[in-house]
Chains A and B, each alone.
Chain A
Amino acid sequence: MSEILLAAQNVTKKFPGVLANDDVSIRLRPGRILALLGENGAGKSTLVNVLFGMYRPDSGQVVIKDETVDLHGPDDAISRGIGMVHQHFQLVPPMRVVENIVLGDEPTKRGLVDLDEARNRVVELSERYGLEIDPDALVEDLPVGMQQRVEILKALYRNADVLIMDEPTGVLTPQEADHLLGVLRELTETGLGIVFITHKLREVLAIADDIVVLRNGQVVGETTPSQTSEGGLAEMMVGRSVVLQVEKSAADPGDVVLKVSELEVNDDRGQVALDGLNFEVRAGEILGVAGVEGNGQRELVEAITGLRHPAFGVMEIDGEELTSSSPRQITKKGVAHIPEDREKHGVVAVYSVAENSILNRYHRKPFSIRGILRRHVIRGHAQDVVDEFDVRTPNVLVPASSLSGGNKQKLIVGREFSDEIKLLIAAQPTRGIDIGAIEFIHRRILEQRDKGTAVLLVSAELDEILGLSDRIAVLYDGKIMDVIDAHDADREKIGLLMAGITD
């Protein structure tokens, strides 16, 4: 058996204006799990793409099974036994499991695909590795956890000795995630090596044998779970000590601000996405909506902010019915919205920071008078937002597209918070941004709560929900399974509800 399964040796990769990987070295031995930890933009993806043959390094080498190799593409990596499970599954939904697994490397008999042989091989693989699956099921009918299993089998079918898992637990419930970690551990017992990419500190400590932390394209630390803690890892990732859990005082709820009754909303395909929702959010409290993504969260946020018309039900803000009102009417009532997809709904990329800072009220005084924008007022306002919300930008005239994710998000938060608001709808407010910005935005959301704003927080990150919420509603399959007081909530309990299990 090889001494080193997969290694990067002094890999450097530059993109225009960015040094994505700077002299990075990692090594993976057989039977071990190497966790690659780092914030967005730290260089994890670049490194993995180099190892998988998607990018060629500017300098440095890739070593596979003790041999220095020159990879010309993913095919090269696959044929040398590297398997990758992408964060967004690369499966063909209307095809069967077995077809998906053998696609691109199909067994044939007399010129046609030999599905019986393919099925035998899949069954044999799934038995050998204890990954039970129905080979004839259509992928689109499988739950997410099973689809991931198909991806793993796809790699094993191609005789992978190394699995690269890119953020594999993002779409799973806590229980499913635990199960996956168990499966991965078992896989290593056959000598397989695993590179596990994540930004979730708890998982790293639970599963990794070795940990490599990246920051700004460089390896800033190598450690093992026994030598470190969540705090220690976070500090390595960010480069300073960070507060993982923002401190918060007890909530002091006031009057009901948002009241939703019997809300039914359809998704883009016309299927029922929300099925008779009832809940309230009071002034000065944060209601967290937990759940695996795709259980109706997007439709809920869109219905409340006026982007999608409900099929049935009533939504009241401050006692006034606003069901099916336009986004502008709703904004006028003092509703702020941090949208889930900041690139699509949060900023206009080609507009300047200044223009983006008034997207929700360009039509009002003092920003425009009789239909004419007043540039100096807008710039002044933008400068205030930039200063107060710590948006890192050379000036307010650069296009929003030049800002990093975290700074874009701070700009959005600044824009939404710079008016008097009664209700805040925050959807995935810290997705894909650095820990420093997360901490900042969490503080600001709590500040709003303490000022008496009602907050609806929708997030796929359970830690975020647990850390900020006063009450937690768990959404599953378009229904609220339960609303729990945050004091009584724990991961276990919420995880079960997220999977639709009630006792």
Chain B
Amino acid sequence: MGEVMKPQQRQLLYAGLAVMLVLIWIFYSANGPQTTAVLAGTVRAATLLALGAMCGMIGERSGVVNIGIEGQFLLSAFAAFTIASMTGSLFMGTIAGIGMGLMMGWLLAAMAVGLKVDQIIAGTVLNIAALGLTSFFYDRSRSLGMGKYTNIDLGPLADIPLVGTVFFSRPPLTYLTMALLVVVHIALFRSVWGMRTRAIGEHPGAADTVGIDVLKLRYLNVTLAGGLAGLGGSYLALEAVGTFSRAMSGGRGFLALAVMIFGRRTPFGAYAAALFFGFTTALQNQFQLNNTFDIPPQFVGMLPFVVTIVVVALSGLVGSMRDPAALGQNYEKG
């Protein structure tokens, strides 16, 4: 029901996976603590990218490009942080972040679906508005008195060496994201909603003739997807960092789009891609921390972005993925 993978691609995937596991085992034997730190950092960076990618893919599967994820992250992070510090409740902050994401999704839908504004322009509006608003209302004196979300050990699973620390001793929103990957996968490829969503992204006219309300469904999807980006913003402020700072999303909303494309607009594919990009970020952090190379840190810091360019250029390796046919096109009835 998902995207069909060609046998060669599948083999390539399995081969790559095997090589990776062997490498991790070698590194772990050589230097346990550092390997664990890098892999834990990988999962931490991947969570935000996965949430952004899911937001993007639900929009794009329905035919609506969302380049406003960056802005959705930022404004939601701001809302989450502000409400959490005001109420003293991380939970309330998280809800506020999701709510802000939904509102921004709704705004994008109103512009791009309702008013038929060019979708790229509508997304840009979100990004600019978020940057402006958060900079203007930024209050340096605020802080999270109660600290950020802390790790929860999942019983005996957390005691497994390496894997336990990396996957089963995590803060709550990371677990929630992993659960959402499964939920979104099933919803997209097995539910009635998902089938109709994919149909309106490919051939809205066909969906219309069998009685599916294309505009209504796009409206709904873009709004709901905003909630995922909102969760991403909450994660960023309340779990990953524990504070808010100006422009803290730092381009990850755009990186999430690359992750989405590299993951072929499927949740699991996106998570794999997110882990890969997260790994380069974590590696770079570790290099800087240890001063591994005797070169200025700015160059080491470029690693994730250089890898992004190389990987996207080579993405033919995972098979070219066609965009949904109606992507970016506003639908006119009749």
- Give the B-binding residues of A (Cβ under 8 A): 54, 73-75, 78, 84, 86, 89-95, 99-100, 103-106, 108, 111-113, 115, 154
B195 touches A106 (CB 8 A): yes
B198 touches A115 (CB 8 A): no
From A52, which residue of chain B is reached at the shortest CB distance? B209
From B200, which residue of chain A is reached at the shortest CB distance? A92
Most buried by A among B195, B196, B199: B195
From B322, which residue of chain A is reached at the shortest CB distance? A94
State the CA gap A54–B333 with chains docked (Å).
Answer: 11
| CB proximity of A416 to chain B, nearest CB, Å | 33
A103 with B1: in contact, given A74-B211, A91-B206 (CB under 8 Å)? no
A113 with B192: in contact, given A78-B211, A103-B207, A104-B207 (CB under 8 Å)? yes
Which B191-240 residues sit within 8 Å CB-CB of chain A?
Answer: 191-192, 195-196, 198-199, 202-203, 205-212
Q: Identify A86's interface contact among B195, B198, B202, B209, CB under 8 A.
A: B209
A104 touches B210 (CB 8 A): yes
| CB proximity of B213 to chain A, nearest CB, Å | 10
Chain A residues touching B, majority SS: loop
A90 with B202: in contact, given A103-B195, A104-B211, A113-B191 (CB under 8 Å)? no
From A104, which residue of chain B is reached at the shortest CB distance? B210
State the CA gap A433–B199 with chains docked (Å).
Answer: 34
Cβ of B133 < 8 Å from any Cβ of A? Answer: no
State the CA gap A328–B192 with chains docked (Å).
Answer: 53
| CB proximity of A141 to chain B, nearest CB, Å | 11
Q: Identify B202's interface contact among A78, A93, A112, CB under 8 A.
A: A93
Cβ of B190 < 8 Å from any Cβ of A? Answer: yes
B192 touches A106 (CB 8 A): yes
B186 touches A103 (CB 8 A): no
State the CA gap A63–B85 with chains docked (Å).
Answer: 66
From B325, which residue of chain A is reached at the shortest CB distance? A93
A90 touches B211 (CB 8 A): no
B211 touches A92 (CB 8 A): no
Q: Identify B196's interface contact among A90, A93, A104, A108, CB under 8 A.
A: A104
Most buried by B among A73, A95, A99, A103: A103
In the complex, the 7 A-B pairs of residues with the closest C-beta atoms, listed nearest first: A104-B210, A90-B206, A75-B211, A112-B190, A90-B209, A92-B203, A92-B202
- Give the A-binding residues of B (Cβ under 8 A): 1, 186, 190-192, 195-196, 198-199, 202-203, 205-212, 322, 325, 334
| CB proximity of B96 to chain A, nearest CB, Å | 30
B190 proximity list for chain A (CB < 8 A): 112-113
A99 touches B211 (CB 8 A): no
Most buried by B among A74, A93, A99, A112: A112
| CB proximity of B324 to chain A, nearest CB, Å | 9
Q: Identify B212's interface contact among A104, A108, A115, CB under 8 A.
A: A104
State the CA gap A154–B195 with chains docked (Å).
Answer: 16
| CB proximity of B203 to chain A, nearest CB, Å | 5
From B211, which residue of chain A is reached at the shortest CB distance? A75
A103 touches B202 (CB 8 A): no
State the CA gap A93–B205 with chains docked (Å).
Answer: 12
B195 touches A105 (CB 8 A): no
A113 proximity list for chain B (CB < 8 A): 190-192, 195
State the CA gap A73–B198 with chains docked (Å).
Answer: 23
**Could you give 17 example pairs across A and B, Cβ below 8 Å?**
A73-B211, A78-B210, A78-B211, A90-B203, A90-B206, A91-B203, A92-B198, A92-B202, A92-B207, A93-B202, A94-B322, A99-B195, A103-B195, A103-B196, A103-B210, A111-B191, A154-B210
B191 touches A112 (CB 8 A): yes
A94 touches B202 (CB 8 A): yes
State the CA gap A84–B208 with chains docked (Å).
Answer: 13
B334 proximity list for chain A (CB < 8 A): 54
From B195, which residue of chain A is reached at the shortest CB distance? A113
State the CA gap A268–B61 with chains docked (Å).
Answer: 23
B325 proximity list for chain A (CB < 8 A): 93-94
B1 proximity list for chain A (CB < 8 A): 115
B206 proximity list for chain A (CB < 8 A): 89-92, 100, 103
| CB proximity of B210 to chain A, nearest CB, Å | 3
State the CA gap A104–B212 with chains docked (Å).
Answer: 6
A84 proximity list for chain B (CB < 8 A): 209
From B194, which residue of chain A is reached at the shortest CB distance? A113
| CB proximity of A448 to chain B, nearest CB, Å | 39
A90 proximity list for chain B (CB < 8 A): 203, 205-206, 208-210
B202 proximity list for chain A (CB < 8 A): 92-95
| CB proximity of B275 to chain A, nearest CB, Å | 27
A94 proximity list for chain B (CB < 8 A): 202, 322, 325
State the CA gap A100–B196 with chains docked (Å).
Answer: 10
**Beyond A74-B209, A111-B191, A113-B190, 20 additional pairs, beta carbon < 8 A:** A54-B334, A75-B211, A86-B209, A90-B209, A91-B206, A92-B198, A92-B202, A92-B203, A92-B206, A95-B199, A104-B196, A104-B207, A104-B212, A105-B210, A106-B195, A112-B190, A112-B192, A113-B191, A113-B195, A154-B210
A108 proximity list for chain B (CB < 8 A): 192
Most buried by B among A78, A93, A100, A113: A113
B322 proximity list for chain A (CB < 8 A): 94
| CB proximity of B207 to chain A, nearest CB, Å | 7
A75 proximity list for chain B (CB < 8 A): 211
B192 proximity list for chain A (CB < 8 A): 106, 108, 112-113
State the CA gap A56–B81 with chains docked (Å).
Answer: 54
A154 proximity list for chain B (CB < 8 A): 210
B207 proximity list for chain A (CB < 8 A): 92, 103-104
| CB proximity of B314 to chain A, nearest CB, Å | 19
State the CA gap A91–B186 with chains docked (Å).
Answer: 23
A104 proximity list for chain B (CB < 8 A): 196, 207, 210-212
